[in-house]
Amino acid sequence: MDAMTQAPGTLADPVEFYGTKVNSRLLLGTAQYPSPAILSEAIRASGAEIVTVSLRRESGAAKAGQSFWQLIRDLGVKVLPNTAGCKTVKEAVTTAEMARELFGTPWVKLEVIGEDDTLQPDVFGLVEAARILSRDGFEVFPYTTEDLVVAEKLIGAGCEVLMPWGAPIGSGRGLNNPYGLRSLRAHFPGLPLVVDAGVGVPSHAAAAMEMGYDAVLLNTAVAKAGDPVRMARAFARAIEAGREAVLADPMEVRDMAAPSTPVMGRAVLGQ
């Protein structure tokens, strides 16, 4: 598939998560959309191949949410269940186990929330839950901070992907700590890293990709846009542009100006 015919947001170099390769580097959440039809159109416009789904959308007893689950199946995307809203290790582990049974996947986006106002991860509980789930055969995508020590602990717990936040969930603030995110990327050059949460506009996503991140996961920025379908398409293009830019080896930042036109050989006019 050449550059003119490939799906939006996809590139020739796929990203790999736990041995599964996907072409799109945009992961999309499925909550808060105005309607199922708009959700479906937005996912298609984004080119996303992975979507996150909360277990709270499903109910085995009442079969609530079955139409939603059928919509996701019809799109042919890979599901990444999440433990959204869980505040304890026990709650997160139990939710993950239920999600694996319901969705038939070992993947889980692990959230253990430690603070209500910022929805900052409880990194202590996160590491503990990641260790338990990894030992039980789960392939864990932990929603974490950009802290290097926490990253080491999560890798030691069995995580082969890290998902540091850009900013608090749903805030749209972008990349609050570029230095920390760059440091994380530099310390783990071969590990898949996904910026998750806080992304508000396509330029935020492009900036994350230009740092060398492997993918971006977002939800609110598309779902709450005036035109979610158009915004999904814009994010796909931004991520593609950011990835192409980092592969092109950008110029280094300079403190002083450097002339783009050579001075040598310039015509000198007599007086």
Q: Which residue positions form the known binding site for 1-deoxy-D-xylulose 5-phosphate?
A: 170, 197-198, 219-220
Token pair recorded at residue 207: 């900036």
Residue 202 and residue 192 in contact, taking contact as beta carbons nearer than 8 Å: no
Indicate the SS3 state at residue 253.
Answer: coil
Active-site option among 21, 63, 78, 109? 109
Residue with tokens 């709270």: 56
Instruction: Tell me which DSSP letter residue 247 carries.
Output: H
Pairing between strand 10-17 and 20-24?
Answer: antiparallel
Burial 49-66 (b: 16+ CB within 10 A, else e): bbbbbbbeebeeeeeebe
Indicate the SS3 state at residue 243.
Answer: helix
Residue 220 and residue 84 in contact, taking contact as beta carbons nearer than 8 Å: no
Residue 201 and residue 223 in contact, taking contact as beta carbons nearer than 8 Å: no
Residue positions forming the annotated binding site: 170, 197-198, 219-220
Residue 243 and residue 11 in contact, taking contact as beta carbons nearer than 8 Å: yes
CA-to-CA distance for 90 and 10, rounded, in angstroms?
Answer: 37
Residue 168 and residue 118 in contact, taking contact as beta carbons nearer than 8 Å: yes
109 is catalytic: yes
Residue 77 and residue 50 in contact, taking contact as beta carbons nearer than 8 Å: yes
Instruction: Tell me which DSSP letter residue 55 carries.
Output: G
Residue 236 and residue 8 in contact, taking contact as beta carbons nearer than 8 Å: yes
Q: What are phi and psi of 258, to 5 degrees?
A: -135, 120
What are the catalytic residues? Answer: 109
